[in-house]
Amino acid sequence: MADVPKKPSAPRTPLAWLDARWTPRPETVRRAALLALVMSVVIVVTGGAVRLTGSGLGCDTWPRCTEDSYVTTPEMGLHGVIEFGNRMLTYVLSAAVGFFIAAARCAAPRRRSLTRLGWAQFWVVLSNAVLGGVTVLTGLNPWVVAGHFLLATALITVTTVAWLRSKEGDGRPRPLVGVPVQRAVAGLTAVTAALIVAGTAVTGSGRHAGDNSREIVRMPFDWESVTRVHAVLAWIVVIGALAVLVGLRLLDAPPGPRARARDLMIVLLAQGAIGYVQYALDEPPLLVGIHMLGSTLTWIATVRLLLSLRERGALPGGEAVAQFDRGQ
C-alpha cells in the first residue's frame, strides 16, 4: 500500500494524541523494530532457562504466582524467582512492542504496513501470554509447551519481518533472482520450519521436563528416534542452504541475497556443532539453552534470506538511507 501522509485530526485516542505531538525519524522506527525483535529472542531464551532449571512450576498457578500472591514468596526459593522473573519480562517485551506500534503509527509519511505488523506482534504476545498461563495450569503439558515455543517463533517471524520492512520502502516487490532460486529458498524455509517443529518433539520427549517432579508427562516418542529425525532434517537444511549459496554465486546474484545465504550457512554450521555436542554429552542444560538461542537465530537468518530475494524501493525520505540499509 502506498504511503499515507499524516493528517491533522482530533486526538481521540492515546496514539492519536501522541501522533499530533511526535514524529519519529526513520532511524527511530528501525530501532524500535529491532528492539522488539531482540526482546522476542530474549523471552525465548529466558523461557528456556525456566525450563532447563526445573522452574516451570516455580509459580504453581496463573495469573497469580500462588493461590494467595501475585508475586513470588521467599518460601518458593530460586525456582519461584526464575519463573516470576520470566513472567515480568513479558511486560518488557510488551513495552518494546508498544514502542514499535507508537513509532510506526506516528511516523511521517504514515506506513500502514508497519502499523499492521506492530499490532500483529501485540496479538501474538497476548495470545502467548495466555498460552503460557495454560502451560502452568496444565502442569507443563508437553504439547502445550511446544505450542508456547512455536507461538514465540511466530512472534520472532513477525518482528523480523517488521525490522526488515522498516528498512525498505512500500513499492511493489521486485524480484532480484529468478523463479528457480525463489522456489529453492521457499522450500528451504519450509524444511527449516519443519526442523524447528521436530526440535520441539526432541525437547518434549527428552529429559528436560521443566520441573524436577517425576510426574511431568512427556511426549510419547522414543527420544533416540525423534532425535535422528531432527538430525536428518538438519542435514537437509544444511545441504539446501549450501546449494542455495553456491547457486547464488554461480548466477552472480546481487550482494544482498548472497550475504544472507552466507549468514544462514554460518549459523547452521554453528547450530549443528552445538546440537551434536549436546547429544554426545546427554543434553547438558547450558548447551540446550544455547541450542535454543541458535534455533531463533537460524529462523531469523532464514527469514532474512527469504525477504532478501526482492526489493521494494527506497525508504520514504532518502535513497541514501535505503542504500545503506540494503548493505546490512
Query: Per-residue pLDDT tens for 294-310?
Result: 999 999 999 999 999 99
pLDDT at 314: 79
Residue ranges per structural domain of the chain: 1-172, 174-311
- Res 11: pLDDT: 58
What does the pLDDT read at residue 47?
93
CA-closest candidate to residue 93, choices 133, 137, 126 = 126
- The pLDDT assigned to 199 comes to 93
User: What is the average pLDDT across 79-101?
Assistant: 94
Residue 180 has pLDDT above 80, yes or no: yes
The DSSP line for 94-151 is HHHHHHHHHHHHH-SSB-HHHHHHHHHHHHHHHHHHHHHHHHHHTTS-HHHHHHHHHH
Q: Phi and psi (nearest 5°) for 298?
A: -60, -45
Q: Which residue has the higher pLDDT, 57 or 190?
A: 190
Q: Is the pLDDT of residue 210 over 90?
A: no
Indicate whether 325 pLDDT > 70.
no
Sign for the CA dihedral angle at 118, 124, 128, 131 comes to positive
State the average pLDDT for the chain: 90
Q: pLDDT tens across 33-69, in order?
A: 999 999 999 999 999 999 899 988 889 899 889 888 8
pLDDT higher than 90, residue 110: no
Least confident among 56-70, 78-92, 197-211, 309-323: 309-323
| DSSP-H helix ranges across the chain | 14-19, 26-52, 77-106, 112-137, 142-165, 179-205, 223-250, 255-280, 285-307, 319-326
For residue 322, the model assigns a pLDDT of: 41
* C-alpha closest to that of 188 among 153, 235, 150, 227: 235
Residues 121-135: tens digit of each pLDDT: 999 999 999 999 999
* Amino acid 131: pLDDT: 95
**Rounded percentage of the chain residues whose pLDDT exceeds 90:** 71
- Select from 86, 92, 87, 106 the least CA-distant residue to 36: 92
Taking 60 as the threshold, does the pLDDT of residue 181 lie above it?
yes
pTM of the entire predicted model: 0.90
Which residues does residue 314 pair with via DSSP β-bridges, in sequence order? Answer: none
Give Cα separations from 18 to 21, 23, 106, 263, 266 (angstroms).
5, 9, 7, 38, 42
pLDDT interval class at 215 (50, 70, 90): confident
